[in-house]
Amino acid sequence: MTDSEEVEKVVDNRQYLFIVRHGDRWDYSNPEWKLQTTSRIGDSPLSPLGHQQAQEVGKFFDAWLNERQLDDVIWMSSPFLRCLQTSDEALNAMTTFSKASSLSILPEYSIFEWDGYGGAWHKDLPSLTERKHYFPRLDMNYESFFIPTLPEPRSEFFTRCQHSVDGLHERFPYRAGQVLIAVSHAAGCIALAKTLTKLTLQDITPAGPCSIYGFTRESNSSVWSLDPHDKPGSLNGYTDHLSNMGSATRPWNNFGDGTTKFYTGPPTSRFAIGREGEVGIQNGDTKKY
């Protein structure tokens, strides 16, 4: 092949960060589970649909990474069961990505659930030693950026997310072609997206189960880029990879003032239409956000 016939390879100088919400929750689909004395009510597992959604996340990344020939991948996860199950199912579904079997799950406490219940949900978290028995991929030597202090006042959550982003930048400085993936919760997806991009809440698509947010940067900048919401193929709350969104675990972008439930996401979002004032309210939950 002559020089003129060679196709110039495009060099991708971007560093990628993906934040993924966990899949459909068992307790939202089966509220009677919370009444059982043996249940860790703050640490709900996934429903069967949630497991399916998590596998579809893995298939998405399997194809995405192979298409771009990127193999420098770091996988982090909130230590809550639903996030670890989402991570494990996704990684197991990555059947063609050559390095999937060697990827560890890094337990990152700084991106765990918003303390909206005075720490009641967090008290159910078991030790990582117990988790390791069920999730061999867990890296027990990994140290979180920090562990949030509980109880966590509502006013502190965005500050916590800023500290999480600061920790991410310190631990993982800009590296072209690196892919960071973090599995978190609905509030974490939204608040971290806002913190990373400096956008407003109305620029961020509500976080559905296993929705994907994709961020990029081309330098050590503290500000990452995010696609506009609800554009075709937009990685801003992306859900096209899911065959079934379900209805129990609703898309969420609902940071209220503590006294009133209200929607704070894009007014034109596909998840806001016809649901004003209801987005983010789960299974009759009366907690006011």
Is 283 inside a domain boundary?
no
What is residue 237's three-state secondary structure? strand
- Contact (CB, 8 A) for 283 and 28: yes
Q: Round to the nearest angstrom and report the end-to-end CA distance of the chain.
A: 63
User: What is the domain count for the chain?
Assistant: 1
Alpha-carbon gap, residue 268 to 164, rounded angstroms: 29
Neighbours of 176 (CB within 10 A): 12
Among the listed residues 285, 271, 263, the one whose alpha carbon sits nearest the alpha carbon of residue 25 = 285
pLDDT digits (tens, 9 = 90+) for 129-142: 999 999 999 999 99
Is 200 inside a domain boundary?
yes
Q: Which pLDDT belongs to residue 258? A: 62
In this prediction the pTM is 0.91
Q: Which domain holds residue 106?
A: 8-238
Q: How far is CA 112 from CA 72, 166, 199, 268, in A?
A: 24, 16, 22, 29
Q: Which pLDDT belongs to residue 285? A: 39
pLDDT digits (tens, 9 = 90+) for 156-205: 999 999 999 999 999 999 999 999 999 999 999 999 999 999 999 999 99
Q: Which pLDDT belongs to residue 5? A: 47
Q: Tell me the mean pLDDT in the region 57-79.
A: 97
Is 179 inside a domain boundary?
yes
Is 195 inside a domain boundary?
yes
pLDDT digits (tens, 9 = 90+) for 229-278: 989 999 999 999 999 999 999 999 998 766 667 889 999 899 985 554 44
Residue with tokens 């900048």: 221
Is 93 inside a domain boundary?
yes
Strand ranges inside 63-185, DSSP E: 72-77, 106-107, 178-184
Q: What is the CATH number of the domain that holds 177?
A: 3.40.50.1240
Is 151 inside a domain boundary?
yes
Mean pLDDT of the chain: 90
